[in-house]
Amino acid sequence: MTPPAAFAACVLLACAAAAAQAQEPDPAAFRVEASPEAPPPWGLGWQTTLELRDSRQPQTWADAAALEQVLDLRHEWQPARGLRLALSARAETRVMPAGRTGTGGALREAYASAEPAAGWFVDAGRVNLRQGVAQGWNPSDWLRAGGLGAAWQNPAAARENRLGAVMLRLQRSAAWGSAELAWLPDLAAGADTGLADWGLNLERGNDRQALFVRVAPALGETLTLDLGALARAGEHPAWSANLTALLSPRWLALLELQWQTLAGLAAPDRSARAARPRPRLAAGANVTLDSGAVLGLEWHHAADALDRGDWAAWRSAASVSAEGRQALGALRAGRAARLDPLVRDAFYLRLQWNDPWHDGRHDLAGHLRWNPADDSRWLQLEAAWHARPDWSLRLVLAGSRGRPYSEFGARAVRGVAALTSDWRF
């Protein structure tokens, strides 16, 4: 297949998928950048997005279209030797033809980092503490609920573009490896002071006091391991492990595990399952193809989520009564707010193809989620054109398929097409 044909096939496949996954309503309601695997370079960005949505409910074109303007700031300063200041924030406005507008802001990160001695670092402020080696879902990433919701998003980008948490963090880096200790205060009272209007949303990451410890021993060039422990007020302690193994120059295996005492979800006519130690894990592998594209497959398992039988019971109850639909909606919203899986097992397939035509100007990506319990699916395809070093155009087409009341078939938004112009200064 020629490069132009491959590009066209990507676009046509997304159109055929028609229908999109949408996260449940999010308090911050910000759009998530679609495809960067890492944060954009530090600086100022101006993004303009034209978005069209296909809803499962009757709608007019004025309800389907929206225009967003986003001012994105990421910057670092080094005012003195051994001292670094970091700021990451965004402001946005959303306009719809029907006349509805919305504005908002989000202070993602704002912290000071000092190096009092070689290999020792102390950070204070709002920090986006990322955890986990998987791409589609990170069970050990205990701050994932700080994500900024969107109808379409690359999971890797979502972890970068989210609200951090206020913390005091100590880090140590040496030849034997690295270690990290973070303390988070309880700042949930800030939710009642109007601070949320300024994009702080302190209750998202600081709703309770927490202490986190992580150790990552140096194991060589082909193996990485980090071990974590989390103590958070009102919860049982959680233990985590992240492991990657470079099996060959092309193959990378990964395992991400969290173990915590949790209650289990049950059918609507039963009470929750008793709390006991339950694992959550993401296991998979990435392979680099001859073309340079990276293909990844992951299995996600959450022992506290619904099994096939209980999930079928919930869908059956929703199909016969309004009370059942309301209860299912509340269940979905609660799990989505914490970015917890709804069903016990799921699969995630990812394709990332940077610079497919070796001109330094194009990137292609695809993401597929599959719920085997109800055979519903969500697909997102992305194509980026880097016309200049400081300007890119990005097209995202996303959609879902599934029977009524299935995980992806019941989403309010069925399809999304978005075109984004991104300037970097």
Q: What is the pLDDT of residues 141-183, one digit of tens each?
A: 998 876 655 555 667 677 777 889 999 999 999 999 999 999 9
d(CA 208, CA 185): 7
- Please tell me the CATH superfamily of domain 9-424, with its number: Porin (2.40.160.10)
Distance CA 133, CA 59 (A): 40
Mean pLDDT of 375-387: 96
Which range, of 187-191, 262-266, 297-301, averages the lowest pLDDT?
Answer: 187-191
pLDDT at 134 over 60: yes
The whole-number average pLDDT for the span 318-342 is 92
83 — pLDDT class (breaks 50, 70, 90): very high
What pLDDT, on a 0 to 100 scale, did the predictor assign at position 6?
41
The amino acid at 66: A
Of 255, 339, 245, 258, nearest to 298 (Cα)? 255
Average model confidence (pLDDT) across the chain? 86
Pairing of strands 65-80, 83-95: antiparallel
Pair of tokens at residue 344: 């016990």
Instruction: Please report which confidence band the pLDDT of residue 372 belongs to, taking 50, 70 and 90 as the band edges.
Output: very high
- Cβ neighbours of residue 146 under 8 Å, at least 6 residues apart? 128, 162, 163, 164, 165, 204, 205
Which of the two residues, 301 and 411, has the higher pLDDT score? 301
Q: What digits encode the pLDDT tens for the residues 11-36?
A: 333 333 333 333 333 322 233 333 44
Q: Which amino acid is at 261?
A: T
Report the predicted TM-score, pTM, of the whole model to 2 decimal places: 0.86
pLDDT at 64: 83
pLDDT > 70 fraction of the chain, expressed in percent and rounded? 84
pLDDT of residue 22: 33
Mean of the pLDDT values across residues 336-345? 91
